[in-house]
Amino acid sequence: MTILSADSNDARKLMSRYNDAKANWQNWRSIYDEAYAYAIPERDPWPEGVEEGRRKNIQVYDITAVNSARRLVSHLHSSLTPPGEQWFLLEAGDDITDENEKKEVNTFLQGYTDIIFQMLNDSNFDLVINEFYQDLIIGTAGMMVLESNDKQSPIRFKSVGTNTIYPEGDVYDNINTVWRDFLGIYGRDILQMWPRAKLPQTITTRMANDALVKFDFAEGVIYDPETDTYRVVVLMMDTNEFILDLKTKSSPWIISRWSKCSNEVGGRGPVIDALPTIRSLNALVEEIMRNVALSTSPPWMAASDGVFNPYLFQISPNKIIPISRQSMNEMPLKRLDVAGDVNMGNLEVNDMRIQIKDALFDNPLQPVNSPVPTATEIMVRQQSFMEEIGPAFGRLSVELMPAIIKRTIFIGQKRGYLPADLIIDNKKISIKYKSPLVRSMAVQKIQNLQNYIQIMQPILGQQLTLGTLNIAQLPQWLSDKLDVDEALVKTPGQVQLLVEQMMDATNPPSPATTQPNPNQPLANQVNTQKSLGADANG
């Protein structure tokens, strides 16, 4: 990192960018707040009031969306970044075409992949990424990848609520610049939060006069496309003074969106898509509960006279109701019939619950009482899930997973765990994802190959059908799709040599095709041919 110098005019420009990003992000508050309130109420970052321990789900009458959202987060976690598994690997890029060289490079890069995953496993990645997915299904998620002072874990992840960040989009709607504010920070905590900060005279004077003085700061990580670097600034809000201004090659921020509209910074997730039905279901269940309460404890009409007081009377077993002699033939209480069909409401509720489950990809493999599903059924469901979230996965493969890997490599290089020349450029080194969701896509290609063989066999026969395939390339192709260790599979050249050896062993030269020996006398050659002919005919 390099420390920069800054003037007051530059500070005013930066504060203007901060205010614009904050004002734009506030437009998303209402829709995000409502989505959190109904689907993930306990994580709602925008409730009224900021006290800890307060109830946040008091307005929820039906938890269908809550359960479906929780299962979708679990499915994303286990399908994209499964704990304890290597969900990606570094491999040779497109510039390396020789198969033997590519295999050697891949074996060499596997060691670096192991180091990266060791760094992730030693950190709190699995905890924070789950919180990240909870924000992601709402629309936009953010977290920070920071260098840790812990010797056991060089990196640490920090989940950041969407109410405290203000992303700034560029002309291509990419989020490379992120702002956030820190309000009410004690002066004694400034250097703990920003160890490289330089406190101006304004802060030191106020801290000397008041030990409990608080300050408001604006922090920005600003991307410079000309130099492909990031500028990290921290400014006092009331004086526009810098306390930190430095440049770095990597941003600690990872901001990702489920999907987005053009010219919008914020994302829109499946919870927002299902929000109209979630809202309607919640209101309908509330009305059904009121109807059930009226049916079980209906209202009563009571005649008020000098003896019977309906305001003090309470219905209970063995209760004596005092009435006047003049009203002995008339009941002082009469039950009020309440109209309403609870069963009809339940039909609507079930229909809405199915719609919400479909919107949140909460489709179980089978009903509870059905037989155990086969491997094919599970694979089909996994492929169906992949097809449904395909667009979202494409965005995550650009905004989320490469950012995690590159930031981890940057910190690993800084701490000396990885070499400085380890650069992912897709030419010499590229990233290959091998999460369960990606493997389900590969299974479809294997099925296509099987379908090809099944269709061709009745036409050409088994031998000719196999002859149309490049058998030497087939083991390598299958091992790649099924995620088999390359060290266990021979190269195409080795496979070709093996095929030729097997063909020679199973098809020896026929004696009938033995050529005459020119050095043998003519009579002997004739006798040899006759004997061969007799053996062939005999």
pLDDT at 533: 46
Contacts of residues 180-184 at CB distance under 8 Å and 24 or more positions apart, as own/partner, are 180/218, 180/219, 181/18, 181/22, 181/216, 181/217, 181/218, 181/219, 181/237, 182/216, 182/217, 182/218, 182/219, 183/216, 184/214, 184/216
| Domain annotation covers residue 389 | no
**And the tokens for 312?**
């003090």
Same domain flag for 277 and 413: yes
Torsion of Cα atoms, 414 then 417 then 418 then 420, to 10°: 30
User: CB neighbours of 280 closer than 8 A, spacing ≥ 6?
Assistant: 352
Same domain flag for 295 and 428: yes
| Domain annotation covers residue 157 | yes
Same domain flag for 232 and 275: no
pLDDT at 511: 56
pLDDT at 448: 84
| Domain annotation covers residue 489 | yes
| Domain annotation covers residue 451 | no
| Domain annotation covers residue 294 | yes
| Domain annotation covers residue 318 | no
Cα(96)–Cα(428) distance, integer angstroms:
7
**And the tokens for 434?**
């091998």
Instruction: Identify the three-state secondary structure at position 419.
Output: coil
| Domain annotation covers residue 395 | no
DSSP state, residue 203: H
Task: Give the count of beta carbons closer than 10 Å to the beta carbon of residue 142.
Answer: 23
Cα(508)–Cα(70) distance, integer angstroms:
65
Cα(445)–Cα(124) distance, integer angstroms:
35
Phi and psi, residue 265, nearest 5°: -85, -45
Same domain flag for 230 and 95: no
Same domain flag for 184 and 242: yes
Q: Which residues of the chain, if any, have pLDDT below 70?
A: 1-7, 46-51, 53, 303-308, 321, 323-333, 336-345, 364-383, 441, 506-538
Cα(241)–Cα(457) distance, integer angstroms:
77
Same domain flag for 149 and 281: yes
User: Are 183 and 41 contacting, i.e. CB atoms less than 8 angstroms apart?
Assistant: no
Task: Tell which of 239, 262, 285 closes a domain.
Answer: 262
pLDDT at 507: 66
- The total number of structural domains in the chain stands at 4
Express each pLDDT in 93-123 by its tens digit.
Answer: 888 888 788 888 888 899 999 999 999 999 9
Cα(129)–Cα(46) distance, integer angstroms:
21
Q: What is the DSSP string of 294-324?
A: HHHS--EEE---SS--TTT----TT------
Cα(151)–Cα(69) distance, integer angstroms:
36
Same domain flag for 37 and 150: yes
User: Are 19 and 240 contacting, i.e. CB atoms less than 8 angstroms apart?
Assistant: no
Same domain flag for 358 and 488: no
Cα(529)–Cα(320) distance, integer angstroms:
128
Same domain flag for 40 and 128: yes
Bridge partners, 300 (sequence order) = 335
| Domain annotation covers residue 331 | no
pLDDT at 114: 93
Express each pLDDT in 329-384 by its tens digit.
Answer: 666 667 766 666 666 667 788 889 999 999 998 876 544 445 566 655 666 666 67
pLDDT at 364: 60
pLDDT at 459: 87
Same domain flag for 140 and 283: yes
Same domain flag for 150 and 288: yes
What range defines the domain where residue 500 resides? 472-507
- AA letter at 494: Q
User: Are 255 and 141 contacting, i.e. CB atoms less than 8 angstroms apart?
Assistant: yes
Sign (positive or negative) of CA dihedral 467, 472, 473, 475: positive
Same domain flag for 156 and 170: no
246 vs 1, 96, 229, CA distance in Å? 6, 38, 11
pLDDT at 534: 45
